[in-house]
């Protein structure tokens, strides 16, 4: 199977190679990009391909990577809003999650994959439960998923053993499946919901299995205070004591990182930890403003995530890009903070690096994960700077075509990999039934 894309304005995100190509072509063979270049001399004329896509009037760019989600929660979109965090969790989200079934998570995950495909996300990092169901949804939807079973043990060793066993099985069962589209990570939930020694055990298991780790860190001031009161130090240093942040063997992905000190930031930069910045969730739950510009200045690898649908309430990474740029500017009182190109790097090359090193960039040898962004729309007139357009003016609904691993998932706004109506119908039924079951039990 080969695909030739012609007449595209290409944004490669390849720092060491070409940047943008005004009239470019890209040739996909199997699941890899085999050629990319300028087509002003009709260099692509001699290439024969199974499928030819005319990308005139569109930007061709790497697919976006959403590095922090809880896809099963898609069924809880809008289940509780405008609520204080603890009440939100205790009276709404946790009771509903206690009633979630495997099938709920399956349909919630399919719906989430559909929403991500429609808004240009080609890869995501997830942490939740019933993860076999999310893996099945990823397998079917054709998207790329880096999945972790979220473990919470609250210092209980027996519970910890069980959680770790579930994770180990999940990693064994799914690592590298679906032609490598599925990768697995270990997911110790957070430093205030899992004890230090348990988190250290999950890291050892991850290194043994060649899987990364995905953890929530310093999302709230409450976590920071809890850690200081109980351990005399913050989450970052508490876990550094067991060498958790060492990335010499496997990647470490830390979500939120709102309450990071300058010392924490330096440590993350030295260790090579990847941060998932979730500005919309942090704003919606009033968690705070993560010091992203400081992190970038210090050399931390920062990526973007939407968090779960219950605290966003969408999975649209274009919204997240714009919000990230805006929030950092108002938060630092500096309109030059987090410029557009840096934001696009966060959502593409930086996100790709933690999920699959061969994604996030359009160059020969990379995996064929990419999107076409339609610029034949009023919000795309004029375009003086392509990165500014993508961050400040474009919208997820401008994404017209999505390719992952060399397969076309959506072409000219038509999703090819699932029966969209059926997925929406089933997901809606499961969401309403979940709400009904939760209501009955409470």
Region 307-326 residues binding a copy of itself, contact defined as CB under 8 A: 312-316, 319, 322-323, 325-326
114 forms part of the interface with a copy of itself (CB under 8 A) = yes
Per CB under 8 A, which region of 78-86, 165-173, 183-191, 293-301 contacts a copy of itself? 78-86
Question: How many residues lie near a copy of itself (CB under 8 A)?
Answer: 71
Considering the complex, what minimum distance in angstroms separates the CB of residue 428 from a copy of itself?
5
- Contact with a copy of itself (CB under 8 A) among 1, 381, 414, 442: 381
Considering the complex, what minimum distance in angstroms separates the CB of residue 221 from a copy of itself?
9
Neighbouring-strand partners of residue 59: 9, 373
| 164 preceded by a cis bond (ω within 30 of 0) | no
Nearer to a copy of itself (CB atom), residue 274 or residue 278: 278
327 forms part of the interface with a copy of itself (CB under 8 A) = yes
Nearer to a copy of itself (CB atom), residue 10 or residue 399: 399
Per CB under 8 A, which region of 8-16, 41-49, 350-358, 381-389 contacts a copy of itself? 381-389
148 forms part of the interface with a copy of itself (CB under 8 A) = no
Nearer to a copy of itself (CB atom), residue 253 or residue 340: 340
Nearer to a copy of itself (CB atom), residue 16 or residue 286: 286
440 forms part of the interface with a copy of itself (CB under 8 A) = no
282 forms part of the interface with a copy of itself (CB under 8 A) = yes
d(CA 317, CA 66): 7
- Contact with a copy of itself (CB under 8 A) among 40, 197, 379, 442: 379
378 forms part of the interface with a copy of itself (CB under 8 A) = yes
Nearer to a copy of itself (CB atom), residue 280 or residue 361: 280
139 forms part of the interface with a copy of itself (CB under 8 A) = no
Q: Which two tokens stand for residue 3?
A: 């695909």
Nearer to a copy of itself (CB atom), residue 170 or residue 387: 387
Query: 68 and 309 in contact (C-beta within 8 Å)?
Result: no
- Contact with a copy of itself (CB under 8 A) among 32, 152, 250, 283: 283
220 forms part of the interface with a copy of itself (CB under 8 A) = no
Query: 36 and 362 in contact (C-beta within 8 Å)?
Result: yes
Q: Which of 364, 280, 323, 385 is nearest to 59 (CA)?
A: 385
Residues of span 386-415 touching a copy of itself by CB under 8 A: 388-389, 392-393, 395-398
12 forms part of the interface with a copy of itself (CB under 8 A) = no
- Contact with a copy of itself (CB under 8 A) among 225, 376, 414, 436: 376
């Amino acid at each position: 199977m080969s695909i030739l894309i012609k007449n595209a304005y290409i944004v490669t995100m390849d720092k060491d190679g070409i940047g943008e190509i005004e009239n470019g072509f890209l040739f996909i063979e199997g699941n890899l990009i085999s050629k990319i270049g300028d087509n002003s001399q009709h260099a692509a004329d001699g290439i024969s391909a199974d499928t030819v896509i005319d990308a005139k009037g569109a930007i061709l760019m790497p697919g976006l990577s959403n590095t922090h989600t809880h896809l099963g929660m898609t069924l809880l979109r809008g289940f509780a809003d405008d609520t204080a965090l603890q009440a939100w969790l205790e009276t709404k989200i946790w009771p509903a999650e206690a009633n979630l079934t495997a099938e709920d998570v399956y349909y919630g995950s399919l719906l989430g994959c559909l929403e991500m495909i429609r808004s240009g996300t080609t890869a995501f990092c997830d942490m939740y439960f019933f993860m076999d169901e999310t893996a099945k949804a990823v397998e079917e939807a054709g998207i790329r998923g880096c999945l972790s079973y979220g473990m919470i043990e609250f210092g209980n060793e027996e519970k910890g053993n069980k959680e770790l066993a579930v994770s180990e099985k999940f990693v064994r069962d799914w690592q590298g499946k679906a032609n490598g589209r599925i990768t697995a990570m270990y997911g110790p939930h957070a430093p205030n919901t899992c004890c230090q020694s348990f988190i250290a055990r999950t890291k050892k298991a991850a290194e043994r299995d060649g899987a990364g780790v995905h953890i929530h860190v310093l999302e709230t001031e409450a976590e920071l205070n809890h850690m200081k009161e109980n351990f005399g130090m913050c989450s970052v240093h508490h876990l550094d004591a067991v060498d958790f942040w060492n990335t010499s063997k496997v990647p470490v992905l830390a979500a939120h990182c709102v309450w990071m000190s300058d010392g924490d930031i330096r440590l993350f930069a030295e260790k090579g930890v990847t941060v998932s910045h979730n500005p919309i969730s942090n704003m919606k739950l009033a968690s705070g403003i993560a010091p992203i510009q400081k992190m970038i200045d210090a050399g931390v690898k920062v990526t973007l995530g939407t968090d779960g649908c219950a605290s966003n309430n969408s999975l649209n990474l274009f919204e997240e890009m714009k919000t990230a740029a805006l929030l950092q500017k108002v938060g630092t009182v500096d309109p030059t903070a987090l410029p557009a190109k840096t934001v696009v790097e966060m959502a593409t090359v930086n996100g790709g690096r933690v999920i699959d090193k061969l994604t996030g960039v359009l160059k020969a040898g990379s995996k064929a994960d990419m999107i076409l962004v339609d610029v034949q729309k009023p919000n795309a007139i004029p375009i003086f700077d392509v990165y500014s357009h993508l961050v400040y003016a474009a919208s997820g609904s401008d994404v017209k075509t999505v390719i992952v691993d060399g397969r076309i998932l959506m072409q000219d706004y038509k999703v090819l990999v699932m029966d969209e109506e059926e997925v929406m119908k089933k997901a809606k039924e499961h969401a309403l039934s979940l709400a009904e079951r939760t209501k009955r039990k409470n």
